[in-house]
Amino acid sequence: MINGSKQKRVLSKRRKDMIFVACLVFVPLMQYFVFYICVNFNSILLAFQQYNIGDGETPGRYVFAGFVNFKKIYDEFISDGLILSCVKNSLMFYLINLVVGTGLGLTFSYYIARKRFASKLFKLILFMPSIISSIVLVTLFKYFANYAVPQIINNTFGTNVKALISTRQTAFGSIVFYNIWAGFGTAILLYSGAMSNVSESVIEAAKIDGAGPVREFIHVVLPLIFPTFKTFIVNGVAIVFASDMCLFSFFGTDAERYLWTFGYYLLRGARLASLSEYPYLAAIGVVLTMVCVPLTFSVRYLLTKYGPSID
């Protein structure tokens, strides 16, 4: 009888625990279902529709239109240089960020992880942009790039350098520089954390074998943190056409067309579009997804297969 009563109490406690866990996960699961599953499913449906403007008696509504929006994308890709420019800028931004941003991020992270001179100060300075409001940071950088730097260069060399962000020749490079600088924080935090977990015995063994800092980094540290490195690369490929390069923070909806990326194109379009333009934007999203999904999985497969092994 006692065992039966004890078993009932255990079952009751487990039931209460399950109810408590269910209550905890209900809200995030519903949020995921509504704001990810439903929204994306509706976007896919919207890509195959058009908006018919109603008259005074019948309201406007979306109707099935087949592949009309996708044909429009193809026609504009062929005839309009804007979409091609967006593709070029998105790819250029990703490649520059991949080579320069990742290279500098790994270098600074290695310096910090090895606890070199003033490494904590470097970590604080490089992580600072990540904890400052984006709008505040962009405002400071715009003033610095448009007024301070040209003034310093002109006074020093007697030249006539104009505002960097407002000049066509320097605007793209200046904004890419801002993105690399502002993005150091997260990369350095994760890379230096992964490098700090590398066993000191492995580092000492490499030094005994005559490995200098460069060989130690390439042949010992990088293979051991490769899973973290691979995550950054794969995530970067997944959002290569989704990044707006902070153009909206710099210019709002008034950025010059030669600076546009696909991310900014979609963000600006969603901000300014009418009901009749949403299906076209949804179709662009579907096309970009069809490009990015196989590309992302291919890059992940190649990095997993041919990347350095911890063994």
Q: Is residue 145 part of a domain?
A: yes
CA distance 224 to 247: 36
CA distance 179 to 92: 13
pLDDT by residue (tens digit) across 178-195?
Answer: 999 888 888 888 888 888
Assess whether 109 and 41 both reside in one domain. Answer: no
pLDDT band at 77 (very low <50, low <70, confident <90, very high): confident
pLDDT confidence of residue 311: 59
Assess whether 103 and 10 both reside in one domain. Answer: no
Least confident of 206-215, 216-225, 231-240: 206-215
Assess whether 31 and 103 both reside in one domain. Answer: no
Q: Is residue 125 part of a domain?
A: yes
Q: For residue 203, what are the domain limits?
A: 79-306
Average confidence (pLDDT) over 115-126: 81
More confident residue, 159 or 47: 47
| Percent of the chain topping pLDDT 90 | 24
Assess whether 189 and 241 both reside in one domain. Answer: yes
Assess whether 15 and 139 both reside in one domain. Answer: no
Assess whether 11 and 105 both reside in one domain. Answer: no
Assess whether 98 and 231 both reside in one domain. Answer: yes
Assess whether 126 and 234 both reside in one domain. Answer: yes
CATH number at residue 257: 1.10.3720.10
Assess whether 85 and 163 both reside in one domain. Answer: yes
Assess whether 293 and 177 both reside in one domain. Answer: yes
| Percent of the chain topping pLDDT 70 | 94
Phi-psi region for residue 158, left (φ > 0), alpha (ψ -120 to 50) or beta? left
Q: Is residue 52 part of a domain?
A: no
pLDDT band at 226 (very low <50, low <70, confident <90, very high): very high
pLDDT band at 49 (very low <50, low <70, confident <90, very high): very high
Q: Is residue 8 part of a domain?
A: yes
pLDDT by residue (tens digit) across 1-13?
Answer: 456 676 777 667 7
Assess whether 109 and 18 both reside in one domain. Answer: no
Task: Report the number of distinct structural domains present in the chain.
Answer: 2
Q: Is residue 238 part of a domain?
A: yes
Average confidence (pLDDT) over 111-119: 84
Pair of tokens at residue 233: 């690369």
Q: Is residue 311 part of a domain?
A: no
Q: Is residue 157 part of a domain?
A: yes
Least confident of 49-58, 74-83, 89-98: 49-58
pLDDT confidence of residue 296: 92
Assess whether 195 and 247 both reside in one domain. Answer: yes
pLDDT by residue (tens digit) across 127-173?
Answer: 888 788 888 899 899 999 999 888 988 888 888 888 899 888 899 99
This prediction's pTM:
0.83
pLDDT confidence of residue 298: 94
Q: Is residue 54 part of a domain?
A: no
